[in-house]
Amino acid sequence: MQLDNLVEIKNIEKQAWEALERSIIYYKGLPVGTVAAYDVSVEALNYDQCFIRDFISSALIFLMKGRTDIVRNFLEVTLKLQPKEYQLDAYKPGRGLMPASFKVVSANNQEYLEADFGEHAIARVTPVDCCLWWVILLRAYSVATKDFCLAYRPEFQQGIRLIMELCLATRFDMYPTILVPDGACMIDRRMGIYGHPLEIQVLFYAALRAAHEMLIPQGNEDIIAAIDNRLPLLCGHIRQHYWIDMHRLNAIYRFKGEEYGKTATNLFNIYADSVPYYHLDSWLPKKGGYLVGNVGPSQLDTRFFSLGNLMAIISDLATEEQSQAIMNLIEERWEDLVGDMPMKICFPALENEEYRIVTGCDPKNIPWSYHNSGSWPVLMWMFAAAAMKTNRTHLAQKAFATAQSRLWEDEWPEYYDGKTGRLIGKQARKYQTWTIAGFLLTKELINNPTHLPLISFEELPPELVSRACEFELNNFDSILFG
């Protein structure tokens, strides 16, 4: 079917809105969220729940369209699900954590909410990203409504504070990044993203920025000081140690191993043989670069992860120059990263022995499927936002045009498989809510870029930047370690 007229395009949008409406969950008569998928052809499993991370896309389009009530209700009910006390029982979720999902359960003519913090999830993964997204969404609500009253309410101040305390707590390493187990974010299965994966660090940065805007200084002096301190260090750390382009690849390629002491240049003791330099040498465009997926002891995961890179542009974690370089890379490697469905969750896929060892033989994450380099339409809105922020409107339009008719024809699947995303995901649900919301959101961002400030951040205030953020790559070490 050819979509060659406006009527049909309008029709697709209308149907998307109808599907989104159908997905709304009500609790005690109020709209409080959206179900993950409304696919009547298969058993619901956990797709009848409202996932925090999935709801972000719905929430943003609702905010842009003036449907702020549902977002406020969502923020209020999820805040009540957050554990407020220290838990002595180590099998209970920690203080400050937000659930992965919740659902409305009815019993004895009463409705109540049942939260899942990962204890019912496959493999018991912890949804670390959810508390970070929650803070980001609360700030988006405040920006959209031009009303910080909700955020200033004591219980919301406490909610933000608990999340900050959880994330800023003293831990076992000496980096500004946060340590998480494997599968703690959108990729919620084992995929070699344990340790300090990019996605979590970027969301952490955005949440710190958002919390900083919303916390009332009085009574929060300690937390605000900790945020002020962490922001430039985290920013500097990611911009320095996660960045890769031809210049940096050349440096890594010639790294010496086993350096001991303060003067080491190969801080993480990366062995060049572990980096696929022959692949990167031909893949990296001259003026392109990106943030790598993970950095740890003798570990430099050079896979490209879309969410982390796009949110780094949107949240201003990447420098202006780095943001442009990431967009250059996506444009030059369009076939690999966008192909026939925007866009790849990561690239390239883990294959053969690497797939077996790193995923633990996960049959859902076979090469070029699902998290292992599948294509996720929901990521399109982040691509559009990043494109608008870097003045690449044409790229956002191009991606949207690619997706538009297919998504509707294919009934809004959760994800696509194959090298260029031409196969509907092997186990994809249809009428997946964040696919639908992501589509509507992309269109809205392209047509009304004035909505961008809901999710984007300006440059870090100069008084913070001056500390560590505006550094020359070459003298960074002397700033932080000198």
Could you tell me the smallest distance in angstroms from the CB atom of residue 159 to its own copies?
15
DSSP reduced 3-state for 350: coil
Is residue 89 a contact point for its own copies (CB under 8 A)? yes
Which of 143, 144, 170, 163 lies closest to 211 in space, CA to CA?
163
Please report, as residue ranges, which positions from 433 to 462 form the binding site for its own copies (by CB under 8 A). Answer: none
State the burial class of residue 393 (Cβ atoms within 10 Å of its Cβ: 0-12, 13-18, 19+). Answer: middle
Of the candidate spans 119-127, 202-210, 305-313, 414-422, the one that interacts with its own copies by CB under 8 A turns out to be 119-127
Please report, as residue ranges, which positions from 36 to 65 form the binding site for its own copies (by CB under 8 A). Answer: 45-46
Judged by CB under 8 A, the number of residues near its own copies is 85
Could you tell me the smallest distance in angstroms from the CB atom of residue 105 to its own copies?
14
Is residue 221 a contact point for its own copies (CB under 8 A)? no
Which residue of 219, 257, 276, 453 would you call a contact of its own copies, by CB under 8 A? 257
User: Toward its own copies, which CB reaches closer, 279 or 356?
Assistant: 356
Of the candidate spans 24-32, 254-262, 332-340, 430-438, the one that interacts with its own copies by CB under 8 A turns out to be 254-262
Could you tell me the smallest distance in angstroms from the CB atom of residue 365 to its own copies?
9
Please report, as residue ranges, which positions from 332 to 371 form the binding site for its own copies (by CB under 8 A). Answer: 352-354, 356-364
Is residue 259 a contact point for its own copies (CB under 8 A)? yes
DSSP characters over 54-70: HHHHHHHHHHHTT-HHH
Which residue of 31, 285, 296, 418 would you call a contact of its own copies, by CB under 8 A? 296
Is residue 224 a contact point for its own copies (CB under 8 A)? no
User: Toward its own copies, which CB reaches closer, 320 or 351?
Assistant: 351
Which residue of 72, 95, 398, 406 would you call a contact of its own copies, by CB under 8 A? 95
Is residue 260 a contact point for its own copies (CB under 8 A)? yes
User: Toward its own copies, which CB reaches closer, 270 or 343?
Assistant: 270
Return d(Cα 119, Cα 99) in angstroms, integer. 10
**Using an 8 Å Cβ cutoff, are 54 and 47 in contact?**
no
Which residue of 26, 112, 152, 268 would you call a contact of its own copies, by CB under 8 A? 268
Is residue 114 a contact point for its own copies (CB under 8 A)? no
Please report, as residue ranges, which positions from 149 to 178 form the binding site for its own copies (by CB under 8 A). Answer: 166, 169-176, 178
Is residue 195 a contact point for its own copies (CB under 8 A)? yes
User: Toward its own copies, which CB reaches closer, 72 or 364?
Assistant: 364
Within 8 A by CB and 6+ apart from 215, the residues are 157, 160, 161, 164, 223, 224, 227
Both structure tokens of 74: 């969502």
Return d(Cα 361, Cα 338) in angstroms, integer. 26
Q: What angle do CA 199, 56, 119 make, to 5 degrees?
A: 70
What DSSP character marks residue 372?
B
User: Toward its own copies, which CB reaches closer, 4 or 89?
Assistant: 89
DSSP reduced 3-state for 299: strand
Return d(Cα 317, Cα 409) in angstroms, integer. 37
**Element (DSSP H or E) covering residue 108:** none
In the numeric block, the tokens 């990366």 are attached to 270
What's at 369, amino acid-wise? S
Sign of CA dihedral 10, 449, 344, 333: positive
